[in-house]
Amino acid sequence: MAMTQREFFEKVIKANVSEELTTKARELIAGLDKRNAQKSSKPTKTQAENEVLKGKMLETLEKGRGYLAVEIGTAMGFSTSKASALAKQLVNEGKATVADVKVKNKGTQKSYTILVEPIEVADETE
């Protein structure tokens, strides 16, 4: 398995070959951290587009009514998989709920309901 840059720099620091190499490795790790922080703080083009689509879903879909992903996709004009992914994000944000429902000749599927009032969602990163 290939070693990442971070792993390499950490091994250089741990080996303590020389003060100069250790200092340089620490500087390079700080640069990696800075670059990664910039990447994670700026949403990608797709993420920004998805935020717009989720807003349209909240505006368009009737609150309090359950929708299958295929119904959301049809109503919004995008694929069922896209509708399902965006609906899951709304559930994670506390703006929708999800429940299993039985659909004739299809088995059990997820039904997404847009909430009238969003609920507070606990942050799992803490």
CA-to-CA dists, residue 99 to 3, 72, 83, 88, angstroms: 43, 15, 15, 11
Percent of the chain with pLDDT over 70: 93
Among residues 31, 33, 56, 52, the alpha carbon closest in space to that of 114 is found at 56
State pLDDT tens for residues 15-72: 988 999 999 999 999 999 888 887 777 788 999 999 999 999 999 999 999 999 999 9
User: What is the number of H-type helices and E-type strands within the chain?
Assistant: 5, 3
In this predicted model, which residue has the larger pLDDT, 88 or 121? 88
In this predicted model, which residue has the larger pLDDT, 108 or 123? 108
